[in-house]
Amino acid sequence: MSKTVTVSDQNGTEALAAKLAAVARAGDVILMHGTLGMGKSAFCRAFIRAVADNPNEEVPSPTFTLVQIYELDRVPVWHFDLYRLSDPEEVHELDIEDAFADAISLIEWPDRLEYLTPENRLDIHIEPGSTPDGRVFKLEPHGDDWVTRINDLVVDPS
């Protein structure tokens, strides 16, 4: 079961990120799929700001650092960008298993995980929408808990 959400602009992306942030908890893994420039980092930035309950939270891209860790009051969030990795063994050096156990993990370019991809996760596929800033988000839950949360998710079209 998957759910498709279409947004017309960045505000819609931020609203969807906030809805998902509200139901996310420690141990959750969210895999972000999409081509370059599709808005994976923008979605993650909005998600982290929603978890932080701070729209001004500084959220730099982890493109060069590979991981940014946010020790937030509600739950820690680890934001990974695996684009520059060529071997899944390199992922171990990022302590990703610790994040999987104790934090919310947002992972851009998750194809680099290969055999490390967790069974219970939410895959988010982002594609272009019908407007320049519009996007189509396909939410694919894996595991009963994610299926329930995505089924119960109410998203207003924007």
Q: How large is the C-alpha radius of gyration of the chain?
A: 14
| Residue owning tokens 């999409």 | 34
Boundaries of every domain in the chain: 3-152
CATH number of 3-152: 3.40.50.300
Q: With contact defined as beta carbons under 8 Å apart, do 57 and 45 qualify?
A: no
- Measured between alpha carbons, how far is residue 78 from residues 71, 108, 120 in Å? 9, 11, 17
Q: With contact defined as beta carbons under 8 Å apart, do 97 and 125 qualify?
A: no
For 119, counting Cβ atoms within 10 Å of its Cβ (0-12 exposed, 13-18 middle, 19+ buried), the class is exposed
Query: CA–CA separation, 55 vs 67, rounded Å?
Result: 21
CA atoms within 13 A on the CB side of 48: 27
Query: CA–CA separation, 145 vs 68, rounded Å?
Result: 26
Q: What is the pLDDT along the chain (158 residues), one digit of tens a residue?
A: 899 999 999 999 999 999 999 999 999 999 999 999 899 999 999 999 999 999 999 998 888 889 999 999 999 999 999 999 988 788 878 888 888 999 999 999 999 988 889 999 999 999 999 999 999 999 999 999 999 999 988 776 55
Classify residue 123 by its DSSP letter.
Answer: E
Tens digits of residue pLDDT in 19-46: 999 999 999 999 999 999 899 999 999 9
